[in-house]
Amino acid sequence: MVLRILPMLIVRTFLQIRALQKTWQQKGLSVGFVPTMGCLHEGHLSIIRQSRAETDITVCSIFVNPKQFNDPEDFKKYPRTTSQDIVLLSGEGCQVLYLPEVDDVYPPHLNTTLAYTPGVLAETLEGRFRPGHFQGMAEVVKRLLDIVQPHRLFMGQKDFQQFLIVKDMIAWYKLPVQIIQSPTVREESGLAMSSRNVRLTPEWKHNAPAIYAALTQGKDRLLQGVHPREVEETVIGQLTDAGFRVEYATVVSPDTLQPLDRITASSSALFCVAAWAGNIRLIDNIVW
């Protein structure tokens, strides 16, 4: 059998994507979309594989969106490894990489401000510590969806609140796209993969798996009937003792993100943590 491996197209402008879109539409091909900020790791690649398995055409975008960084220093230092990303994406059979400049996503003449606002979903957890982050995130995802017009949008469980807000926005605009959540991919140590992990010092790389360990122990205690506030305090204590600066460790409803006061065997819950490992901010969660 002869395998025909097509090279990945790298496109820089939304007009190029529109032109491709037309031909896909004419051929009746389904399109999966995986938006990223690059510095790709196994977590991103597992999403690409999922999209490849479920759709005809997989489009990935790499765009470090200035609007969702509340800290300009974080934006400046965000790792950028485009050449390596291109090799990884082609290796997974991703057909199109959209690699725009800022002006292509936010053309000066175009008002990309959204009528949609994330509301209460953006007021808790990350929203309390990263003002404006979700508005900026929603704005770029809406713009990217308008450009790519995928049938399926794939996003990671690691950024659970982001997923929920995008889902809410899709419903609000009644966009004809199905949003699909991909499970969190972890290092063998349990540390959730993240582009920011490359900036961890060797000591912090060694310590950072404590976050997932604390979350899983916390889940066991919650299922044994320990009160969520007590479990949260234990996790904060454990991580603080391990040298982290914890911003939150909170047990919430995975639908509303509001704190839960009681966990039963049949109830679902989301346990989220954000903590600074030195000068790198890490987030993680488990959901059941």
Task: For residues 98 and 150, give the distance between their C-alpha atoms in angstroms, rounded to a whole number.
Answer: 13
Task: Give yes or no: 151 in active site.
Answer: no
Check binding of 285 to ligand AMP (CB under 6 A). Answer: no
**Which structure tokens are listed for 77?**
């230092």
20 contacts ligand AMP (rule: CB under 6 A): no
Strands 245-252 and 31-36 turn out to be unpaired
Q: Using the 8-state DSSP alphabet, how is residue 35 labeled?
A: E
Which pairs with CB-CB distance under 8 Å and at least 24 residues apart come from 216-220?
A: 216/190, 216/286, 218/249, 218/251, 218/271, 219/271, 219/286, 219/288
List 169, 179, 192, 210, residue binding ligand AMP (CB under 6 A): 192
Residue 36, interface with ligand AMP (CB under 6 A)? yes
Amino acid at 161: Q
Q: Per CB under 6 A, does 159 bind ligand AMP?
A: yes
Residue of 155, 235, 236, 274 that binds ligand AMP (CB under 6 A): 155
Query: How many positions of this chain bind ligand AMP (CB under 6 A)?
Result: 16
Q: Please give the Cα distance from 274 to 129 (Å, whole number).
A: 9
Catalytic residue among 41, 44, 206, 227: 44
Query: Reduced to 3 states, what is the DSSP secondary structure of residue 236?
Result: helix
Return the residue of 20, 44, 231, 272 that touches ligand AMP, per CB under 6 A: 44
Our finding on whether 193 is near ligand AMP (CB under 6 A) is yes
| Residue where the block lists tokens 């713009």 | 143
Selected range binding ligand AMP among 25-33, 143-151, 179-187, 206-214, rule: CB under 6 A: 179-187
CB of 62 to ligand AMP, least distance (A): 8
Considering only 32, 100, 118, 156, the residue that binds ligand AMP (CB under 6 A) is: 156
* Beta pairing, strands 270-277 & 245-252: antiparallel
> Which residues would be at the binding site for ligand AMP (CB under 6 A)?
36-37, 43-44, 47, 155-156, 158-159, 182, 184-185, 192-195
Active site residues per annotation: 44
